[in-house]
Amino acid sequence: MPLIHHCLCRPPYAFFSSKHLLGSSPSTSPTRLGRVWARFLSHTTPPANVEQIGVETDDLAKVRVVKQKMEILGIKCDDFVIPGRYHQLFCPKCKGGQSMVRSLSLHIIQDGSLGMWRCFHTECGWAGQSFADSMAAYNGVTKKVKSFEQMSEESLGLEPLGAKLIAYFGERMISEETLRRNAVMQMSNDKNVIAFTYRRNGQLVGCKYRTIGKKFWQEKGTEKILYGLDDINDVPEIIIVEGELDKLSLEEAGFRNCVSVPGGAPGKVSTKELPSFEKDTAFQFLWNCKENLNKVSRIILATDGDTSGQALAEELARRLGRERCWQVHWPKKDESSCFKDANEVLKCMGPAALKKLIEDAEIYQPHVANHVMSST
């Protein structure tokens, strides 16, 4: 895999940095929570005493479920952990470090429906949530209770690509080898429908379908993650594109450390403050890939060159940290337009030209014009 040159004076940047709404850095201390976490933990006021809690039977059941889910993750919730109060516990991840301090701050809201925690040890920073309803514990990511193990190529009715779709990709300069490695398939009952399989640690967790006529839909129960997630395990630099076809195109240019967002781009950049992660539904796939993104020091944004693609780049940079983002600028196609995306460059200019564009990515600059035009 070709190396992407980068500036050595820019250190690795931690995802969920204290500079961004997605969370606080591992160095955050309890006395420096920041606006987001402070607001996040301010759902209730701690009761004056136990008798004032007033938890009903249903609420007690919620508390029990929340505690059980947290205990699965190693958080020991003894009887003294009651709703409406803040508790300092031993973190099951870092064990409090060498000093073995109670570095895990835990809070269950008054009605018992939600528990949340964060470790303030300088080398840990583990955080998450546990819900009493149909949601599983947030182990620093968002994951609904679904039996992804039951999803398989057979259960989805998938089969290897046939000659027609292989030819379709061939016209777009995507080889059979790349298609096989990325497990691109087709529906067995409609051989004109492409199936992009989404996998985590090799396990099938979702599928996105595309017709030749560019109609898209997802399999019910698909986990919201980046396409090609397993290709960015333990790599310092990654490329993010706007579509599965562009991810395959980057592989033809020699880059496997590439992922695609699972959905479309926003029409414009929002001027509102970034939402807390449980409300950031449009970019939930970033939270669900936190462990992978945390290890990355440099991110090249190679989204589409249109207005929506530039808005997507800005929204990604806002969440991932502009300090570690670079951006690809697609070249002019003619006097009045530029190439739209990676696949168009691959088709018209070839893999060597696409590779050079990635290597020549520039330090990311915010798109101020988009902010001015945005009204939401």
Which range of 25-39, 92-106, 289-303 scores highest in mean pLDDT? It is: 289-303
pLDDT of residue 329: 95
Quick check: 298 pLDDT over 80? yes
How many Cα atoms are found within 13 Å in the side-chain-facing hemisphere of 204? 19
Specify the residue for token string 């950031």: 280
The share of the chain scoring above pLDDT 70, in percent, equals: 77
What Cα–Cα distance (Å) separates residue 221 from each residue in 55, 69, 224, 288? 34, 21, 9, 14
More confident residue, 124 or 323: 323
How far, in whole angstroms, is CA 302 from its chain's centroid? 16
Q: Summarize pLDDT for 143-189 with one digit per residue, the tens.
A: 333 434 468 999 999 999 999 999 999 999 999 999 999 999 999 99
Q: Summarize pLDDT for 186-219 with one digit per residue, the tens.
A: 999 999 999 999 999 999 999 999 998 889 999 9
More confident residue, 238 or 280: 238
Query: pTM score, two decimals?
Result: 0.62
pLDDT of residue 150: 64
Work out the average pLDDT over 22-28.
Answer: 35
